[in-house]
Amino acid sequence: MPGPVSHTYEYPRPALTVDCVVFGLDDEDLKVLLIRRGVEPFAGRWALPGGFVRMEESLDDAARRELEEEAGIRPNHLEQLYTFGAPGRDPRGRVVTVAYFALVKLSDHVPHASTDAKEAAWFSVWDTPKLAFDHAEVLGTALQRLKGKVRYQPIGFELLPPKFTLTQLQRLYEVVLERELDKRNFRKKILAMDLLEELDEVEQDVSHRAARLYRFDHKKYKQLEKAGFNFEL
């Protein structure tokens, strides 16, 4: 096997990584996907999934590859969050990381670890273990982005199952925004936007009275958005 090839440049270059903040929602809480590092630095510490960008792949592709490799996850919603490049953020030397932000339906994603990740698991975003690198700051930035965005873009639906009750939807907003919402007001606002399709189905297997199920109408939203409509909750 050939040894590592060396790469020489006239000026020093930082290393470039991607790191991904993957959010999921269960009945209780907003969750973030973490992996337990198997290698130094910070071996044994929990961290965001991520790794080095390859020379021939785009940044988005690097984020998708790392999520697949490290946790077997293929998110529907993935967007670039922010690039973190403070000179001292990685003990190996200058490493700049392009952070991504993903939303998944938790039920679809039982994470499994692979490659250099020892374990992968979901943690409550409000109660994570001590994270490696500056990943606590990255997570904080992602939470802020999510809080800001759910109000002006219908991305929250990416966290719900395809069919959901209005109670589940309200719970999502309450969990993300960290405050209780008035039920009557919330329903009035969301139904007034006319973006939910009321289904001829109710919840299954619940002990209380089964509630009506709804579906988000992506197609209609795209049309309204083109016409200048602003989602707002």
Determine phi and psi for 144, rounding to 5 degrees: -60, -45
12 makes contact with a copy of itself (CB under 8 A)? yes
Q: Which of 68, 69, 119, 158 is catalytic?
A: 119
107 makes contact with a copy of itself (CB under 8 A)? no
* Site stretch for a copy of itself (CB under 8 A), options 38-46, 49-57, 117-125, 202-210: 49-57
For a copy of itself, the binding residue among 6, 185, 204, 207 (CB under 8 A) is: 6
* Partners of 34 in the β-ladder: 121
Q: Which is nearer to a copy of itself, 10 or 28 (CB)?
A: 10
Q: Rounded distance, CA 132 to CA 27, Å?
A: 28
Amino acid at 72: G
* Site stretch for a copy of itself (CB under 8 A), options 92-100, 124-132, 183-191, 205-213: 92-100
- Catalytic residue check, 178: no
Nearest distance in Å: CB 14, a copy of itself: 5
- Which 157-216 residues touch a copy of itself, going by CB under 8 A? none
Q: Which is nearer to a copy of itself, 128 or 141 (CB)?
A: 141
Q: Which two tokens stand for residue 73?
A: 């996850």
39 makes contact with a copy of itself (CB under 8 A)? no
* Site stretch for a copy of itself (CB under 8 A), options 27-35, 48-56, 165-173, 203-211: 48-56
Q: Rounded distance, CA 130 to CA 152, Å?
A: 31
Whether 140 contacts 219, CB under 8 Å: no
Q: Which is nearer to a copy of itself, 96 or 211 (CB)?
A: 96
Q: Rounded distance, CA 75 to CA 101, Å?
A: 10
β-pairing, 46-47 vs 30-37, is antiparallel
- Which 136-165 residues touch a copy of itself, going by CB under 8 A? 152
DSSP string, 68-137: HHHH----SEEEEEEEE--TTS-TTS-EEEEEEEEE--GGG------TTEEEEEEEETTSPPPBSTTHHH
For a copy of itself, the binding residue among 58, 76, 124, 144 (CB under 8 A) is: 58
Binding site for a copy of itself (CB under 8 A): 4, 6-16, 52-53, 55-59, 80, 82-83, 85-87, 94, 96, 98, 152
